[in-house]
Amino acid sequence: MKAMDQIVQTIQQTAHYVNTNLPNHAQSRVSVNASGDKQTDADVWADHLFFDKLSALDAVGSYVSEERDAAIDCGEGYVVTIDPLDGSSNLASNNSVGTIVGVYEAELPATGRELCAAMMVLYGPYTTMTVARDDREIVQEYLLRDGFSERWGEFSLPDDPKVIGLAGKKYARSEGFNELAKELEQHLKPRYGGATVADLAQVLEYGGLFGYPATTEYPDGKLRVYYEAVPLAYLVEEIGGRSTDGTQSLLDVEPDGLHARTPTFLGNEDLIERVEAHMGDGS
Ligand code: F6P
Ligand code: MN
């Protein structure tokens, strides 16, 4: 089997297993991981699962997880970056969580321009997996059920935006950003749930903007370049949407470490242009 097919199939199979077993982690305890973020038992469980399955593949040369300090060398092959259980704090309230994966042929450090595939899994009322690959024309969405992965349709972004999901408390964001948010929220319905994959899925279904800006608590934004911002930007840009950190595509961000963070905006082109125009004037 082709190396990339092996990786995609392994993520599908492991995501099925995660989906089936998440109820066992409904009351996951919260601690703090090495990079200062909250980490639940479920994060550690999902990280071990994906590590065991991916590191066993000939196709994987390195496993780089949000839940670990350093990359784990697995031999020759692709570098796989992963947020095994994105939005795990949502488990307590029984809301959606996800998995985000990036696949590089190059060694890290690398920008998103070196990505050759990205995937996201959304564990919602049903589980879907979205796959963008540089060797495929379309971004494919799969429905995962009964142990099978069914081709479900082509991923796309409507032209006419309807929703907006912006993170951060108002007092912790810049005044300029709050002005932009106020303008945009006149015409777009607020949709923010606190799990990037789930919030982005709404934007992709209805058109709109997802954003986690710089805040006083997170001066570089909260989301991680390698595990969240860049793979999701790859998926969005592949279907004609855009991404920005405020001034440039997230695919051009040069991370200064495996756990670097970046302000993250994803969505329809005209809304990303509004964000860049606003940030460009220093506000
Ligand atoms: O992984 C970080 C994360 O859980 C994202 O999935 C989510 O978008 C964000 O944190 C939520 O942060 P906050 O609770 O500050 O809105
Ligand atoms: Mn996450």
What is the reported pLDDT for 57? 98
Same fold: 3-154 with 163-280: no
Q: pLDDT tens-digit profile of 211-226? A: 999 999 999 999 999 9
Kindly give the distance from the C-alpha atom of residue 194 to the centroid of ligand 1, in angstroms, as a whole number. 5
Closest residue (by CA) to atom 2 of ligand 1? 87
For 140, the 3-state DSSP assignment is strand
Nearest CA to ligand 1 atom 3: 87
CATH number, span 3-154: 3.30.540.10
Measuring from atom 11 of ligand 1, which residue has the nearest CA? Answer: 194
Domain ranges of the chain: 3-154, 163-280
Which residues form the pocket of ligand 1, taking CB atoms under 6 Å from any ligand atom?
86-87, 89, 167, 194-196, 212, 222
Distance of CA 228 to the CA centre of its chain: 4
Cα(239)–Cα(132) distance, integer angstroms: 9
- The pLDDT of residue 31: 83
| SS3 (DSSP) at 265 | strand
| In the chain, % of residues over pLDDT 90 | 91
Q: How far is the C-alpha of 63 from the C-alpha of 46, rounded, in Å?
A: 13
CB 220, CB 263: distance < 8 Å: yes
Q: Which residue is catalytic, options 67, 141, 199, 237?
A: 67
- Rounded to the nearest integer, the mean pLDDT of the chain is 95
pTM attached to this predicted model: 0.97
- Residue type for 110, please? A
Report the alpha-carbon distance of residue 93 to residue 11 in Å, rounded.
Answer: 25
Topology of the domain covering 163-280: D-Maltodextrin-Binding Protein; domain 2 (3.40.190)
